[in-house]
Structures are given as structure tokens and as C-alpha cells.
């Protein structure tokens, strides 16, 4: 009887081990915004990075938290579900129009596809053809987010809203609210900075708007709004840190 129980337990362990899934999870960000990844509350990378890969995951659900190195960007967390088949799962960090970040499934590669050697000349001879061929969706391609500047009418309305405020602090609050939910070209940035009287206010807003500018290559034009070289230097140092 004991022998039968031991055999049954061994069989059960074998079945469970065979059924256990194994996943490789990658989270990445193409915007050069470094982050730290937490999975179920456990820190996965010692130093902030733009791409983090975690091996040997075997649960079907995980809670992911992303904390950006730049505190200007709000951290976020999501629950992700793993697929039925073991393999590599890739999520891309994306940003909604209103500024919030989220995870988008970018690629899902089953183990049998990931390990297949496409360069082997003897692949056909060595692998026995399956009786049934299943069509597997391997990769979902996601288009890049495009930061499009506000159209002229919307921008004019935004400028009027900021101008209507009497105090500098109130103007900043309204301006930042608008910036958080929109993108701008360099000429629009210049117009918005002109709404602020003091050099310190212009510098603060110039830094705040850099990440929401559609033509960052032209951001050198912003130097024209400053009266002091120290402000230009401060802005340039800030931009270098963002790149």
C-alpha cells in the first residue's frame, strides 16, 4: 500500500512539474526614460535602465510597478497575465495623451518559436514534421507614440487662459496643467515663455516643456528668451540629463 502511495505521489509531482510554465518577461522604454521594475513588490534591477528582463517566472499573474529615475514622471503599476504557452513576453512602456503611462503588449514568442534555428542547414532532416500544424501569432507590432503639437486654435485658447490669470504662481499652475496633456513645437514654447515676466519663471517652464516638445532639435531657439547666460547654461545642463 505504501509503495502504491509513493508511486502515485511521484506521478503527481511529475505531472505538476511538466505542466508548470516558464516565462521570460521584458519591459522596455524607447524614450530613454530610465526606470526600476518591481514584480510583486520585489525590485528587479539595481540600477535604473531603459530595459529590464526577468527570467524563470512561472505564475500566471504578476503585479508590475515601474518607478522612473526622473521624478517628473509619475510611477505606475499594472497587473499582467501570462499566456497559456511558456515563452518570452515583451511589454513596452507607452504614454497616453493625457500623460499617464501604461504597459502595452509588444511581443509574445512561444518557446518553440524562440528556440527554432533558422540558420541550420540540417533543420529539416533533424526535426520530424508534426502531424498537425498550429498557426501561432508571434509578434504584435505597435506603432510609436507621436508627439504632435497643438493646432493653432487650441493653442490660442490655451494662451488666453494663461493670460487671464493675474498672479505668476496661478499662471504656472494653469500652464503646467495644459502642458501635461498636450505637445508643442518650439515656436509655441517661445510664445508661452513670453507670458512669464521673471527669468526664473521662464527657466522653470522651459525645463518643464522640453519633454513635451515635438521638435526638440530646435530647442536652441529657447535661449533667446533669457537675459542671463547662467539661465542658458542651466537649461542646457538639464537637457543633457534628459538625453
8 A C-beta contact, residue 32 and residue 93: no
**215-232 tens-digit pLDDT:** 999 999 999 999 999 999
At residue 182, what are phi and psi to the nearest 5 degrees? Answer: -145, 170
**87-100 tens-digit pLDDT:** 888 898 888 766 78
Q: Cell 503646467 sits at which residue? A: 176
C-alpha cell at 75: 510611477
User: Partners of 184 in the beta sheet?
Assistant: 213
Residue 138 has pLDDT above 70, yes or no: no
**How big is the CA angle at 39 (ends 34 and 43), to the nearest 5 degrees?**
60
Closest CA to 55 of 88, 20, 93, 84: 88
Closest CA to 89 of 77, 113, 106: 106
21-126 domain in CATH 3.90.1170.50? no
pLDDT of residue 94: 85
DSSP per residue, 118-142 = TT-TTHHHHSPPPSSPPP---B---
Q: What is the mean pLDDT of residues 120-145?
A: 46
pLDDT of residue 38: 95
Q: Per mean pLDDT, which of 25-34, 75-84, 125-134, 190-199 is the most reliable?
A: 190-199
DSSP H helical segments within 164-228, as ranges?
A: 168-180, 186-193, 199-210
CA distance 69 to 47: 9
Residue length of the chain: 243
Q: What is the mean pLDDT of residues 125-142?
A: 47
Q: Reduced to 3 states, what is the DSSP secondary structure of residue 208?
A: helix
Averaged confidence pLDDT in the chain = 81
DSSP H helical segments within the chain, as ranges?
A: 2-19, 111-114, 123-126, 152-163, 168-180, 186-193, 199-210, 229-242
**66-87 tens-digit pLDDT:** 999 988 888 899 999 988 888 8
8 A C-beta contact, residue 109 and residue 88: yes
8 A C-beta contact, residue 242 and residue 210: yes
pLDDT of residue 121: 44
Residue 18 has pLDDT above 80, yes or no: no
Residue 193 has pLDDT above 80, yes or no: yes
Amino acid at each position: 500500500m505504501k509503495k502504491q502511495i509513493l508511486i502515485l505521489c511521484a506521478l503527481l509531482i511529475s505531472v505538476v512539474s511538466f505542466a508548470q510554465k516558464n516565462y521570460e518577461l521584458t519591459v522596455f522604454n524607447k524614450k530613454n526614460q530610465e526606470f526600476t521594475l518591481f514584480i510583486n513588490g520585489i525590485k528587479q534591477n539595481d540600477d535604473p535602465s531603459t530595459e529590464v528582463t526577468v527570467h524563470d517566472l512561472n505564475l500566471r499573474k504578476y503585479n508590475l510597478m515601474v518607478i522612473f529615475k526622473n521624478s517628473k514622471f509619475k510611477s505606475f503599476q499594472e497587473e499582467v497575465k501570462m499566456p497559456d504557452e511558456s515563452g518570452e513576453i515583451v511589454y513596452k512602456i507607452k504614454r497616453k495623451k493625457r500623460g499617464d503611462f501604461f504597459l502595452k503588449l509588444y511581443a509574445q514568442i512561444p518557446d518553440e518559436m524562440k528556440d527554432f534555428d533558422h540558420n541550420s542547414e540540417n533543420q529539416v532532416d533533424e526535426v520530424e514534421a508534426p502531424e498537425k500544424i498550429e498557426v501561432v501569432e508571434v509578434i504584435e507590432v505597435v506603432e510609436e507614440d507621436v508627439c504632435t503639437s497643438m493646432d493653432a486654435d487650441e493653442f490660442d485658447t490655451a494662451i488666453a487662459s494663461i493670460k487671464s490669470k493675474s498672479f505668476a504662481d496661478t499662471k504656472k499652475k494653469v500652464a503646467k496643467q495644459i502642458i501635461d496633456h498636450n505637445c508643442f513645437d518650439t515656436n509655441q514654447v517661445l510664445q508661452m515663455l513670453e507670458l512669464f515676466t521673471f527669468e526664473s519663471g521662464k527657466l522653470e517652464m522651459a525645463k518643464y516643456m522640453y519633454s513635451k516638445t515635438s521638435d526638440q532639435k530646435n530647442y536652441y531657439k529657447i535661449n533667446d528668451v533669457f537675459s542671463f547666460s547662467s539661465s542658458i547654461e542651466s537649461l542646457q545642463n538639464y537637457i543633457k540629463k534628459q538625453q
